[in-house]
Amino acid sequence: MSTAERIYDILLAKADAIVRRAADRLDGLIHPDFVYVNAAGRSFDKAGYIETYCTSGRIAFAAQRFSNLSVQEFPGVAEATFIAHDSFIVDGATIAATYQSLCVFVAGPDGWQWIAGQTRTAG
């Protein structure tokens, strides 16, 4: 399996975990030194990301799909850019939005883990 296929599988597993609110599954995909910046410019560490997007209920994902995935591999690091098509509920309102995302992954003894990401509104 190629690195691009592995990264795609991780992104699918991440999307499934946030939709199902499976914090334990999401935890295994994310590196301990994780940092993420969302489209509103808010930064999260690993615990904050899992709490905000998976367990708090403030944002409840109904779906997350990806398109235009491009993966570049370097020794021990892979970067992925893609378009994320999200559907989520905030304050009782369903929102469908499209984002441009960058995710960075590091290779470790247990495989690839997501270590950094940034998302912005596509446009």
Domain range summary for the chain, segments of one domain joined by +: 3-121
List, as one string, the DSSP characters of 75-105.
TTEEEEEEEEEEEEEETTEEEEEEEEEEEEE
**49, pLDDT greater than 80:** yes
| Residue of higher predicted confidence among 35 and 122 | 35
Given a contact cutoff of 8 angstroms between Cβ atoms, the answer to whether 63 and 87 are in contact is yes
Which of 112, 90, 93 is CA-nearest to residue 30? Answer: 112
Domain 3-121 has CATH 3.10.450.50: yes
Sheet holding 93-108, edge to edge: 43-45, 30-37, 111-121, 93-108, 77-90, 59-74
pLDDT at 15: 97
User: What predicted TM-score, i.e. pTM, was given to this entire model?
Assistant: 0.93
